[in-house]
A and B are shown apart, each in its own frame.
Chain A
Amino acid sequence: MNKLVEKRTVDMQIIGDWVEPGSRVLDLGCGRGVLLDYLQQTKQVRGLGVDLDFQKILGCVRRGVTAYQGDMEAFMRAFPDRFFDRVICSRTVQELTDPAAVILEALRVGRAVTVGFVNHGYWKNRADAFFRGRKPRNPVYTTEWFESRPANPVSIADFEHFCVAREITITRRALLRGDWKTPCPFRPNLFAGYALYDLTK
């Protein structure tokens, strides 16, 4: 198993631990449905993905994951409050045009919202920017700036500040070291490579 696949799996396992068996789960920016497929198999969730790209929807359908091609905000507006047990926004939040609007809308349609992102405050990412003066590149973000979507370099401190400012309750968090495995209790904004949050409002 290569490093990337291993990192992805760790992320999925934690989300899998947080997800209630048999619950209704919406994955925003679901890609080809890998996470939902995993949750369907391990937690028997009723999964649904949203993505903009036809090929991603095709990947979901191939896996037996139901998916909707379209804009995630417009999609969520079509649902009543608390329709989903959980809304997942894993490694998507940094690419959103209006992250606050998406997260708040997710908190309306979902009883819980899970947000996961790569911590740009992690010392290696800081060092990257400081010494190389270049966009961070790592096993997860492999692309050059000119090959990737615009992305906000969000950090743990940034995200927690956002939660306070918008009165969002953090019910659970998993802050992991650079190996994305070991818990990172000490100065996570500097030493955690990956952060996962469970939110409610």
Chain B
Amino acid sequence: MNAAEEDLSLVPPEPGEVGLVEPHDFVHAQPFTFESGQVLPGFTLRYETYGRLNAARDNTVVICHALSGDHHCAGIHALTDAKPGWWNNFIGPGKAIDTNHFSVLCANVLGGCQGSSGPSSIDPRTGRPFGLAFPFVTIRDMVRAQKLLCDHLGLSSLYAVVGGSMGGMQVLQWGIEYPSFVRRLIPLATTARESAQAIAFNEVGRQAIMQDLDWNRGDYPKGGGPRVGLAVARMMAHITYLSDESMDKKFGRRRTGAADNPAYTFDVQFEVESYLRHQGESFINRFDANSYLYISRALDHFDLPAAHGSLEQAFANVEAETLSVAFTSDWLFPPEQNREIVLALLRAGKRASYAELAMNLGHDSFLLESGELYTLVRSFLGSPRTP
């Protein structure tokens, strides 16, 4: 707390881009038993990797995505792509997760709809989408499936596992499930126990989907289904990812369209309405409603203290060092819930650090470009042994 402490400023190298990438499919052709006891004869995980695996095969950083994310976290699939992967500002040569040093691996979660096995996959027994016949998925199932992928790739250990929100839950589960396999954990904007408020929001989203007649108890053709329900679910969920302050800054009370827009109508009048409708619209074109039900349920069931007796007991075997980061404006997984993770790790005698960033974008702050977050993560990761 003294005034004159030296400021070591770490000058990051000029960042580059991951560039063109392509997804791969890992087919696990053996039966997989879910935590629920239900069994699939096999499953597929779609994944991407960037950077080079070293000779010791121990420089992989696994990225875990959030509810609506996917395996495409950096780079582009084609030069004509409008947008790069969802964490492109974080991952790449010279970036916070430096692909000059690390091999990055990100898989679409089990139960997802971007190429991994999920309720929209074809059930070989019927030749139709699984729908509700797909087993219930938990965060632990997602992690166990990813471990099988790591084994398939012949990785000897993981340098780090990084993820925000639901990705952060997977990060914690990784450290618990495979203690000697993971050396660093970076859970961001997450929780060890889905709160009643978060379950409540998930339930409203699920109800929007299930009350849509086109849902038809999960039995709908590919590309069809409860489009209205899914869009409403997304609109509502999206609000929980933002904050009052950021919405006010971004939209305020600004109106859309022509000035002669009549005042007394239920058509879109405010920019925030138009934004949310756009969010809903674009979501239904890339996401499966049943996957949304399954994954949101997996979030609800995530409760480490209950699963292990206490959070300290949950972390009892963790060997990795943890860096947890929360964001002050995040009211979905607020700082207190992230602090509790670190306090429990410390009480369990583990190495863990906690930092908090004053960013106003709410829960989604973790996805925002932030020099402070990137410097912190880069410092925590340090430099691996030469590849």
**In-complex Cβ contact of B4 among A29, A57, A142 (8 A):** A142
Pairwise interchain contact A54-B3, C-beta atoms closer than 8 A: no
Q: How far is the CB of B366 from chain A (nearest CB, A)?
A: 15
Pairwise interchain contact B379-A34, C-beta atoms closer than 8 A: no
Which residue on chain B has the smallest CB distance to residue A140?
B2
Pairwise interchain contact A142-B1, C-beta atoms closer than 8 A: no
Interface: A66 (CB within 8 A): yes
Contact with A along B1-22 (1 / 0, CB 8 A): 1111110101000000000000
Q: A70-B339, A95-B1 are in contact. Are A61 and B8 (CB under 8 A)?
A: no
Q: Which of B252-260, B298-306, B343-351 contacts A (4 or more CB under 8 A)?
A: B343-351
B1-47 CB contacts (< 8 Å) to partner A: 1-6, 8, 10
Pairwise interchain contact B5-A142, C-beta atoms closer than 8 A: no
Q: B residues near A, CB below 8 A?
A: 1-6, 8, 10, 321, 323, 339, 342-343, 346-347, 351-358, 372, 375-376, 379-380, 382
**In-complex Cβ contact of A78 among B10, B343, B351, B380 (8 A):** B343
Give every chain A residue within 8 A of B372 (Cβ-Cβ). Answer: 54, 58
Give every chain A residue within 8 A of B342 (Cβ-Cβ). Answer: 68
Q: How far is the CB of A154 from chain B (nearest CB, A)?
A: 15
Which residue on chain B has the smallest CB distance to residue A51?
B1
Interface: A91 (CB within 8 A): yes
Give every chain A residue within 8 A of B375 (Cβ-Cβ). Answer: 58
Q: How far is the CB of A84 from chain B (nearest CB, A)?
A: 10
A56-113 CB contacts (< 8 Å) to partner B: 57-62, 64, 66-70, 75, 78-80, 83, 91-92, 95
Pairwise interchain contact B356-A69, C-beta atoms closer than 8 A: yes
Give every chain A residue within 8 A of B343 (Cβ-Cβ). Answer: 68, 75, 78-79
Which residue on chain A has the smallest CB distance to residue B326?
A69
Pairwise interchain contact A62-B355, C-beta atoms closer than 8 A: no
Q: How far does the alpha carbon of A59 sit from the alpha carbon of B6 in the complex, in Å?
A: 10
Q: How far is the CB of B297 from chain A (nearest CB, A)?
A: 31
Q: A69-B354, A70-B339 are in contact. Are A58 and B379 (CB under 8 A)?
A: yes
Q: How far does the alpha carbon of A54 sit from the alpha carbon of B370 in the complex, in Å?
A: 13
Pairwise interchain contact B353-A78, C-beta atoms closer than 8 A: no
Q: How far is the CB of A92 from chain B (nearest CB, A)?
A: 5
Q: How far is the CB of A187 from chain B (nearest CB, A)?
A: 27
Interface: A156 (CB within 8 A): no
Give every chain A residue within 8 A of B354 (Cβ-Cβ). Answer: 57, 67-70
Interface: A127 (CB within 8 A): no
Q: How far is the CB of B313 from chain A (nearest CB, A)?
A: 15
A131-151 CB contacts (< 8 Å) to partner B: 140-143, 148
Q: Which of B6, B347, B355, B376 has the most CB of A within 10 A?
A: B355
Q: How far does the alpha carbon of A143 sit from the alpha carbon of B4 in the complex, in Å?
A: 10
Q: A54-B356, A78-B347 are in contact. Are A62 and B10 (CB under 8 A)?
A: yes
**In-complex Cβ contact of A60 among B2, B346, B353 (8 A):** B353
Q: How far is the CB of B301 from chain A (nearest CB, A)?
A: 26
Give every chain B residue within 8 A of A58 (Cβ-Cβ). Answer: 355, 372, 375-376, 379
Q: How far is the CB of B340 from chain A (nearest CB, A)?
A: 8
A114-138 CB contacts (< 8 Å) to partner B: none
Q: How far is the CB of B97 from chain A (nearest CB, A)?
A: 15
Q: How far does the alpha carbon of A62 sit from the alpha carbon of B5 in the complex, in Å?
A: 14
Q: Which of A57, A61, A140 has the most CB of B within 10 A?
A: A61
Q: How far does the alpha carbon of A4 sit from the alpha carbon of B3 in the complex, in Å?
A: 11
6 further contact pairs, Cβ within 8 A, besides A69-B356, A80-B347:
A32-B5, A58-B379, A61-B380, A68-B354, A69-B355, A91-B1
Interface: A195 (CB within 8 A): no
Interface: A48 (CB within 8 A): yes
Pairwise interchain contact B353-A31, C-beta atoms closer than 8 A: no
Give every chain B residue within 8 A of A69 (Cβ-Cβ). Answer: 354-356
Which residue on chain A has the smallest CB distance to residue B375?
A58
Contact with B along A1-42 (1 / 0, CB 8 A): 000100010000000000000000000010110100000000
Give every chain A residue within 8 A of B357 (Cβ-Cβ). Answer: 54
**In-complex Cβ contact of B353 among A66, A95, A140 (8 A):** A66
Which residue on chain A has the smallest CB distance to residue B357?
A54
**In-complex Cβ contact of B3 among A48, A60, A68, A148 (8 A):** A148
Q: How far does the alpha carbon of A66 sit from the alpha carbon of B357 in the complex, in Å?
A: 17
Pairwise interchain contact A61-B1, C-beta atoms closer than 8 A: no
Q: A54-B356, A58-B379 are in contact. Are A143 and B1 (CB under 8 A)?
A: no
Give every chain B residue within 8 A of A62 (Cβ-Cβ). Answer: 8, 10, 379
Q: How far is the CB of B185 from chain A (nearest CB, A)?
A: 13
Pairwise interchain contact B8-A34, C-beta atoms closer than 8 A: no
Give every chain B residue within 8 A of A34 (Cβ-Cβ). Answer: 5
For this complex, 10 residue pairs linking A to B, each with C-beta atoms less than 8 Å apart, are: A34-B5, A57-B353, A61-B379, A62-B8, A69-B355, A75-B343, A80-B347, A91-B2, A95-B1, A140-B2
